[in-house]
């Protein structure tokens, strides 16, 4: 396991939590540690993280997922921080490699993650993609490549779609539990907003075709979540919902936002006169 190979020089104890894997994960992990625990495969990692933290005995915890690599420079830095640091936890930038490319925009960078912390200072709620609960004072490492974890996020489209299906099911389930009310308008509004945010606001266009593709895929994931919430209602129909005039109103809202972002980005790279004109157009589009 590349993950364990890269962390072993910098830690005094390795605890592995296996979520009912069917491959050689446990066998390979035994080469690095005898402290291997089993946890129910919940489909997402947050419950297993809390379980793993409870099995660690050291004062400091370095939390690494199986698809992450700890570079040597970062490993040495984190070890020094654990020995001499004055903070309770550290947020570490993470380089996401998607379809073979590091996305340095699109909202995927610096993708700060709390991964080094004192025992008892950080925990996770048992909800998918939950924000960690912290105690004490934390610090962000500078958003530089030398300080970044490597995250081999999605290697293939099939892998992305498989996880999309699993994650959206959990997200929809959580929304239903939180009494979220389905609205057909969100089938248009939420995917549209996600695409505009990823591609324009977070400059996904600077990531080339990868940025465009991931912005579209992330938009699809938002639509799937909404549809799975609808599925929970028994696919309840409403003949008056989603009529062409109403759909066009939602699409026009997206069009206005699209124009705003387009002219705003054009203004950033134009001459002074053109920049002024584009700024005016962007405001008018709102």
Q: Which pLDDT tens digit goes with each residue over 124-179?
A: 988 888 899 999 999 999 999 999 999 999 999 999 999 999 999 999 999 999 99
Residues 47 and 128: beta-carbon distance below 8 Å: no
pLDDT at 218 exceeding the cut of 70: yes
Tally of helices (H runs) and strands (E runs) in the chain:
9, 12
Counting Cα atoms < 13 Å in the Cβ hemisphere of 64 gives 29
Q: What is the pLDDT of residues 86-118, one digit of tens each?
A: 899 999 999 999 999 999 999 999 999 999 999
Start-end of H helices in 42-200: 46-55, 72-84, 157-177, 185-196
Residues ≥6 apart with Cβ < 8 Å to 35: 13, 14, 15, 16, 55
pLDDT at 269 exceeding the cut of 80: no
Which pLDDT score, from 0 to 100, does residue 132 have?
A: 93
pLDDT at 274 exceeding the cut of 80: no
Which pLDDT score, from 0 to 100, does residue 108 have?
A: 97
Sequence ranges of the domains in the chain: 2-152, 156-242, 243-286
Q: Which of 30-44, 63-77, 254-268 has the highest mean pLDDT?
A: 63-77
Q: Which CA distances in Å does 208 have to 128, 144, 161, 200?
A: 29, 21, 21, 12
Please give the Cα distance from 135 to 118 (Å, whole number).
10
Which pLDDT score, from 0 to 100, does residue 267 have?
A: 83
**Section 72-81 average pLDDT:** 96
Residues 6 and 69: beta-carbon distance below 8 Å: yes
Query: 283: pLDDT confidence band, cut at 50, 70 and 90?
Result: low
DSSP letter string over 236-260? ---TTTT-HHHHHHHHHHHHHHHHH
pTM, entire model: 0.88
pLDDT at 194 exceeding the cut of 90: yes
- For the chain, percent of residues with pLDDT exceeding 70: 94
Nearest one of 189, 197, 193, 191 to 106, comparing CA atoms: 197
Which pLDDT score, from 0 to 100, does residue 115 have?
A: 96
pLDDT at 210 exceeding the cut of 50: yes
In terms of phi and psi (left: phi > 0; alpha: psi -120 to 50; beta: otherwise), the region of 216 is alpha
Residues ≥6 apart with Cβ < 8 Å to 202: 105, 106, 107
Which pLDDT score, from 0 to 100, does residue 206 have?
A: 96
Nearest one of 40, 43, 99, 95 to 68, comparing CA atoms: 95
Token output for 153: 């996020």
**Section 229-250 average pLDDT:** 92
- For the chain, percent of residues with pLDDT exceeding 90: 78
Which pLDDT score, from 0 to 100, does residue 277 have?
A: 44
* Topology classification of domain 2-152: Spore Coat Polysaccharide Biosynthesis Protein SpsA; Chain A (3.90.550)
Nearest one of 78, 77, 85, 99 to 212, comparing CA atoms: 99
Q: Is the sign of the CA dihedral 79, 84, 87, 88 positive or negative? A: positive
Q: Is the peptide bond before 193 cis (omega within 30 degrees of 0)?
A: no
Average pLDDT, the chain: 91
**Section 19-23 average pLDDT:** 87
Which pLDDT score, from 0 to 100, does residue 273 have?
A: 46
């Amino acid at each position: 396991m590349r993950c364990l190979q890269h962390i072993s020089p910098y830690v005094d104890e390795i605890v592995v939590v296996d979520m009912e894997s069917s491959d050689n994960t446990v066998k390979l992990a035994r080469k690095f540690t005898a402290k291997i625990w089993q946890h129910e495969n919940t489909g997402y990692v947050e419950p297993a993280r809390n379980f793993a933290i409870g099995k660690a005995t050291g004062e400091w915890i370095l939390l690494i997922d199986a698809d992450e690599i700890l570079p040597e420079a970062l490993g040495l830095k984190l070890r020094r921080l654990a020995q001499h640091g004055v903070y309770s936890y550290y947020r570490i930038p993470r380089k996401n490699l998607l379809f073979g490319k590091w996305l340095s925009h699109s909202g995927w960078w610096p993708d700060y993650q709390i991964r080094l912390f004192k025992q008892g200072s950080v925990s996770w709620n048992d909800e998918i993609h939950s924000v960690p609960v912290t105690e004490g004072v934390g610090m962000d490492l500078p958003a530089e490549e030398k300080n970044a974890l490597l995250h081999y996020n999605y290697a293939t489209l099939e892998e992305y779609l498989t996880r999309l299906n699993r994650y959206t099911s959990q997200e929809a389930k959580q929304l239903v539990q939180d009494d979220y009310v389905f609205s057909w308008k969100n089938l248009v509004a939420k995917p549209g907003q996600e695409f505009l945010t990823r591609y324009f606001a977070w400059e996904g266009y600077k990531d080339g075709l990868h940025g465009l593709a991931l912005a579209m895929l992330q938009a699809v994931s938002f639509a799937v979540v909404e549809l799975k919430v609808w599925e929970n209602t028994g696919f309840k129909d409403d003949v008056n919902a989603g009529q062409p005039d109403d759909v066009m109103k939602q699409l026009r809202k997206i069009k206005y936002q699209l124009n705003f972002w387009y002219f705003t980005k054009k203004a950033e790279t134009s001459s002074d006169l053109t920049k002024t004109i584009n700024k005016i157009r962007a405001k008018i589009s709102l």
